[in-house]
Chain A
Amino acid sequence: MTTPTIEKSRARGGASAGTGGDRKGNDMTTAPSTKRVSLTRPHHLFAWVLIAPAIVLFVFVFIIPIIYSGGLSLMGTAAGSSAYGVREEVFVGLGNYAKVLQDPTFWTSLGNLVVYAAFLVPIMMLTSMLLALLLDLPRIGLRAFNRMAIFLPYGVPSVIAALMWGFLYVPEISPIYQLGEAFGLQFPTLLRGDLVMTAIINVVLWGGIGFNTIILYTSLQSLPKEQIDAARIDGCNEPRIAWYIKLPHIVPATILTGLFSVIGALQVYSEPQMLSSLTPAISSTYFPLMRVYRDAFAHDDLNSASAASIILALATVLLSLLVLGGQRLAARRNA
């Protein structure tokens, strides 16, 4: 008779930690007062010692580089005094930003990015949710194996994944195309023309779904068992339990992983860069980060590359704030 209560309390603790539901609000109101009491001066000093390495690292590898590239983005080069004269560094203000924003290839690359994210993120999230719910079904065989198999592609570095898929995409050497041919099927060549977008999305999906599935599955584990039992007693079948009980429970985790996916999508680089060595269909400005790389490392134009990076970073921050703000607004409306 004691086991249910233990299970209950453990389950509830897990739930509040995992989701940050209404109990978190209570924690927030009580926490500051207890903290104020415990933070005496020696503790304070010691806390600074403890976080000093993190602060030093943060300043050196984050703040200073940002300031540096901010500075770079305001500089430009002026033609030298002779034909091949050394190009001089001059202050150009926001000239680089104007140049980037006026460049049609920048907008084309952003357009590609929007298309990419618009397909990638929904497919990724829906598939991950579906897989997580399937994994969470009772009486699923080989649960550990399935979990592992779904997660494994995430462990493959994206460069390797892109190479591997790249070889599968080339009709002349791909076993998939050869198999298709044996059955008289002609698959479309994904690496040519506009279809190349599907080739890129596929590689990223393959690598990303496992990670998101595991996050959502873990979040499902914190769902109190009683709720499911109660629903079952009320006559819910598994699909209804999934729809009415499980899905609402993993909404916060889904929003978080969705946000990560969006940010990840904005930073897409290594997959298209690797695939671009296999096809002329991926230009050096296909995605914004590839364009930044081209400016910095093919054209030796760090100034323009910095300006473009800062525009991208600002856009990413803005987008994240919008998503998070929207989420908070929705949460407040629900409450």
Chain B
Amino acid sequence: MASRVRPAIATVGILALALTACSGSGSDEATDGPVTLEFWAWGSNIDKRVEVWNTANPDIQVNISAPASGADMPVRVLSAVRAGDGPDIAQAEYTQMPTYVSAGVLAPLDSDRKTLESAYSPTVLETVSFDDSIYGVPQDLGPALFVYRNDLFAQYGLTPAATWDDFRALAEQVRTLDGNRYLFNFSSIDADQFMGLALQNGAEWWDYSDEKWGVDIDSAQTQEVLDFWQGMVEDDLVSTYQTGSPEQIEATASGRVLGTIAGAWAPGPLLNQYPDTVGLWSASQIPQWDTADPRVFARGGSANVILKESPHYEQALEFITWLNASDEGAEGLVEVNKFTGALHGQEIDRTPPELMPEDTEYWPSATEAASKLVSVQWGPNTQVAFTAITDELGNAIEGTSPWADVLPKVQDIVQKDLAG
């Protein structure tokens, strides 16, 4: 009998331990004395800036961690907040801001409005403003650039395309080269890029008027963009590897794919992923539909937001204002290779990115692209549109459903989701 009791006691004991462990992680932070801010961010090198802050501010320590990156972050933050275990500050991509705002988890930052208005251009501040309140402090911008292998372009006598027609002609030319090369890789997973391409052509996917959301994804402008890429894919002028897959990485590393459209942040990740290609890249403005009225869309770029539940609103605001909006902070971000949202960071002289040490034109190109950014009205369910675009574009590329179905289906999904 005793031999049976012991395991039972052990089980009860373990269970008790497990239960107390679950309940033990409540908030027990003291309000006096030094506070520690939990900061969830995936951006590269931000930890270096946090170190600088922590050394100078022993009373407000910041603990940075990356529990998720990019697209997975909002759900991570939202579920943590609902469980009462959320961070004080989080990094949010501009496309994700509406998700946070309509989930009601963000603290409005209007108390800081004056500082922010002097640090940012109105269009940048617009991207973090919802229902007339500011909800984020912009960190970096991702005005799109065509980033390409200058060594291969020179070797084959190619020049970057100014218009989308040129782009197609250039892609055709690249296909005639040796080594099965492509000008560009078109991946269905880059839904934000597809949306950007549509925006560039004048599409407006969401519109709020008369207290109602309208969805206009299945529009003539978006269709024109889709038709263009359908032609490129069907005529085998672009590769369709999944972004981030071994195929795509191999094709970029070996120079089989010559270029990409990336945000101004591109040099950082490219350097991390392809360290052997330093000095082999250049950037130009993206192709246009109408060169008389050049328009650029943004890829990525993010802001820092404060969670409503945070007991340290004041300290958190002080930190993210310093990190992103102050002149010192903007200079620091420039040092770690960010293209800042803050005007000061865009205006100061800076050395070329490590990836392209000779390219003194890189940052001026980025600034030029940023000046042509189209304004965007994000819908409250941008994420739904993005997964729908990824799925439907994927089906079309793989030939499992017709290209003509892409936009009607996405329109339908987004509309139904908004209807609740």
Q: B390 an interface residue at 8 Å Cβ cutoff?
A: yes
Determine the chain B residues whose CB is within 8 A of the CB of A80 once the complex forms: 102
CB-contact partner of A193 in B75, B99, B400, under 8 A: B400
In the assembled complex, B375 has its CB within 8 A of some CB on chain A: no
In the complex, what residues of B have CB within 8 A of residue A87's CB? 102-104, 380, 420
Residues from chain B with Cβ under 8 Å of A282 in the complex: 394
Q: Tell yes or no: B293 within 8 A of A by CB.
A: no
Q: Is the CB of B420 within 8 A of A76?
A: yes
- CA–CA, A154 and B175, complex, Å: 44
Chain B CB within 8 A of A57 CB: yes
Query: For residue A77, which residue of chain B has the nearest CB?
Result: B420
Is residue B152 within 8 Å, beta carbon to beta carbon, of the partner chain?
no
Minimal Cβ-Cβ distance residue in A for B399: A193
Given contacts A170-B247, A297-B72, contact A84 B380 (CB under 8 A): yes
For the complex formed, measure the closest distance between the CB of B114 and the CB atoms of chain A, giving whole angstroms: 23
Task: Return the contact of A84 from the options B12, B74, B131, B244 (Cβ within 8 A).
Answer: B131
- Looking across the interface, which residue of chain B has its beta carbon closest to that of A281? B398
| Interface residues of chain A: helix, strand, loop or mixed (majority) | loop
- Please tell me if A194 contacts chain B, counting CB pairs below 8 Å: yes
State the main secondary structure of chain B at its contact with A.
helix
Neighbour of B246 across the interface among A173, A281, A298, A300, CB < 8 A: A173
| Bound form: Cα–Cα A78–B213 in Å | 13
Per the bound structure, the CA–CA distance linking A84 and B213 in Å amounts to 10
Interface size class of B (residues with CB under 8 A): 35 or more
Please tell me if A12 contacts chain B, counting CB pairs below 8 Å. Answer: no
* Cα distance A170–B400 in the bound complex, in angstroms: 20
Q: Are A172 and B399 in contact (CB under 8 A)?
A: no
Return the contact of B188 from the options A50, A76, A167, A280 (Cβ within 8 A). A280
User: Is the pair A172, B246 in contact by a Cβ cutoff of 8 Å?
Assistant: yes
Looking at the assembled complex, report how far the CB atom of B383 sits from the nearest CB atom of chain A, in whole angstroms. 6
User: What A residues does B283 contact at CB under 8 A?
Assistant: none
A192–B416 Cα distance when bound, in Å, is: 30
Residues B387 and A172 in contact, CB atoms below 8 Å apart: no
Residue of B nearest to A280 (CB): B394
Give the residues in chain A near B98, CB-CB below 8 Å. Answer: 84
8 Å CB contact of B213 from A83, A294, A297 = A83
Inter-chain contacts of B380 with A (CB < 8 A): 83-84, 87
* Contact of A84 with B130 in the complex, beta carbons under 8 Å: yes
B379 CB to closest chain A CB (Å) equals 9
Given contacts A76-B420, A172-B251, A298-B387, contact A277 B15 (CB under 8 A): no
Interface mask (A293-316 → B, CB under 8 Å = 1, otherwise 0): 010111111000000000000000
Classify chain A: how many residues form its interface, as a range: 35 or more
Cβ of B417: which chain A residues have Cβ within 8 Å of it? Answer: 299, 301
Instruction: Give the complex CA separation of A105 and B387 in angstroms.
Output: 13
Q: How far is the CB of B79 from chain A (nearest CB, A)?
A: 8
Interface residues of B in 48-106 (CB under 8 A from A): 71-72, 74-75, 78, 98-99, 101-104
Q: Is the CB of A53 within 8 A of B242?
A: no
CB distance from B17 to the nearest CB of A (A): 12
Q: Which residues of A contact B (CB under 8 A)?
A: 49-50, 52-53, 56-57, 76-80, 82-87, 99, 105, 166-167, 170-173, 192-194, 277-285, 294, 296-301
Residues in B lying within 8 Å of A, measured CB to CB: 4, 8, 11-12, 15, 71-72, 74-75, 78, 98-99, 101-104, 130-131, 187-189, 208, 211, 213, 240, 242, 244-247, 250-251, 380-381, 383-384, 387, 390-391, 393-395, 397-400, 416-418, 420
The 3 residue pairs across chains A and B that have the minimum distance between CB atoms: A86-B104, A280-B394, A283-B391
Q: Can you give 30 A-B contacts (C-beta < 8 A)?
A: A57-B15, A76-B420, A77-B420, A80-B102, A82-B131, A84-B130, A84-B131, A86-B102, A86-B103, A87-B102, A87-B380, A87-B420, A167-B246, A173-B246, A173-B247, A193-B399, A194-B400, A278-B246, A278-B247, A280-B187, A280-B188, A280-B397, A281-B394, A283-B394, A283-B395, A296-B75, A298-B75, A298-B383, A300-B78, A301-B417
